Amino acid sequence: MSKTRKPFAETTIAARAAIDQDPAFRAVTPPLYMSTNYAFDGYDSKGAYEYSRCGNPTRDALGHMLATLEGGAHGVITASGMAGIMLACQILKPGDLIIASHDCYGGTFRLLSTLAERGQFRVTFADLTDPGQHDSIFAEKCAMVFIETPSNPLLRITDIEAVAAQAKKHGALTVVDNTFLSPVLQKPLALGADIVLHSTTKYINGHGDVVGGAVISRTQEMHDNLAWWANCIGVTGGAFDSFLTMRGARTLTPRVLQQSHTAGILADFLSGHTAVENVYYPGLSTHPGHKLAAQQQKGFGGMLSFTLKGGTTALRQFIAAATGGSDAIFTLAESLGGYESLVTHPATMTHAAMTPDARANAGISDSLLRLSIGLEDADDLTTALDTALSAAQRAVA
Ligand code: PLP
């Protein structure tokens, strides 16, 4: 009787995915198949692939790699994270209710509310982080729950297992956007989710040079349905994008662990600084979701947010000092999860697509700044923050 081997760790999965499997020349690194179409063997006899919108070997290799990392059956690779969310929405029928995190990514909020306005389904944005509200949230029959945890940009934590159990009780599917942590730090399918999705633009690729998405299903049946829809509506990702994303994902574990470690150091530093009003980082014991994050996640992640004393005057000065000049090691830009550190002002950038009311409801104030911590040295980043905070303090003194 053969002994069952323990499952490979994420580092091993990412390093070994599709290695030495090239049937043509035994290329060690999986080749890039750019061809749009594939020859049929003869009359009514097609091979494994026919047309790249429906299927492509390079894209499939990435889908398989990410599904293995997430513990799912298979994954559909999409042209962007939003294309992935649009794909998940195809499961819903007119009249169906989707319940989504009230502080989800601004683009998700825009997509779900616009489709709901057009009658494609109904949507309720709710505070899923508060277990006390679950009974009232689930009072109405729903078809899907869409969780983003940690949420963007306040890093609120939702109990995936508890929400997925409630959803299951009501016959609803649970979808989790795992973009902020990646499978290295959180495995939503193991906690009861049916679908996990990513903007692979962020940590999975990690190199700031590909926009892409992934939708990974727990069951093959769900995957087959989503793969059918992805081909039908044409949201599948390109071969070269998949090739680059797979190359980026090879180093996912060391990058994410390092970024998470540095973010913890910077969150501690910001918490102790007199120019700072509030810090939002699940690794801080003062964070309301700290205990849950410690149970549910394998690390606290590379994202943090904070507000400054002194309102917009301090904020503008902080941004100018942190991101100006040729030796700045923070850049004022959207996106996240890359090797380079970024500062974002959610109210005017990532969350500008939300109405001011929706932002206020989600607690996203105009004085909030979000940091995506990259792979720069922690001491260098601390010094850069210290300098920018001093400049902010001088501006309001
Ligand atoms: N989900 C989250 C949590 C995001 O932050 C983003 C983009 O910032 C998206 C989805 C959308 O992904 P994309 O920009 O790749 O379409």
Nearest to 78 by CA among 91, 63, 67, 65: 63
pLDDT at 358: 83
In this structure, are residues 96 and 125 in contact, taking their beta carbons and an 8 Å threshold?
no
Our answer to whether residue 53 is catalytic in this structure is yes
pLDDT at 2: 59
Measured CA distances, 321 to 6, 24, 71, 336, 340 (Å) = 50, 54, 43, 20, 17
User: Which structural domains are found in the chain, ordered by start?
Assistant: 10-249 (3.40.640.10), 252-396 (3.90.1150.10)
Q: State the distance from the centre of ligand 1 to the C-alpha of 82, rounded, in angstroms.
A: 6
Q: Which of 33, 105, 203, 281 is catalytic?
A: 105
Q: How far apart are CA 58 and CA 160, in angstroms?
A: 32
In this structure, are residues 355 and 110 in contact, taking their beta carbons and an 8 Å threshold?
no
Q: How far apart are CA 218 and CA 213, in angstroms?
A: 17
pLDDT at 241: 98
Q: Is the CB of 337 under 6 A from ligand 1?
A: no
Nearest to 147 by CA among 160, 162, 131: 160
DSSP letters, 206-229, are -SS----EEEEESSHHHHHHHHHH
Residue nearest to atom 14 of ligand 1 (CA): 81
Give me the amino acid identity at 346. P
Q: State the distance from the centre of ligand 1 to the C-alpha of 169, rounded, in angstroms.
A: 29
Our answer to whether residue 203 is catalytic in this structure is no
Q: Is the CB of 199 under 6 A from ligand 1?
A: yes
328 φ, ψ (degrees, to nearest 5): -65, 140
Helix, strand, coil % over all residues of the chain, rounded to 5: 40, 15, 45
Our answer to whether residue 105 is catalytic in this structure is yes
pLDDT at 112: 97
Our answer to whether residue 316 is catalytic in this structure is no
Beta bridge partners of 374: none
> From first to last of its 397 residues, what are the pLDDT tens digits of the chain?
557 889 999 999 999 999 999 989 999 999 999 999 999 999 999 999 999 999 999 999 999 999 999 999 999 999 999 999 999 999 999 999 999 998 888 899 999 999 999 999 999 999 999 999 999 999 999 999 999 999 989 999 999 999 999 999 999 999 999 999 999 999 999 999 999 999 999 999 999 999 999 999 999 999 999 999 999 999 999 999 999 999 999 999 999 999 999 999 999 999 999 999 999 999 999 999 999 999 999 999 999 999 999 999 999 999 999 999 889 999 999 999 999 999 999 999 988 878 888 888 888 888 899 999 999 999 999 999 999 999 999 999 8
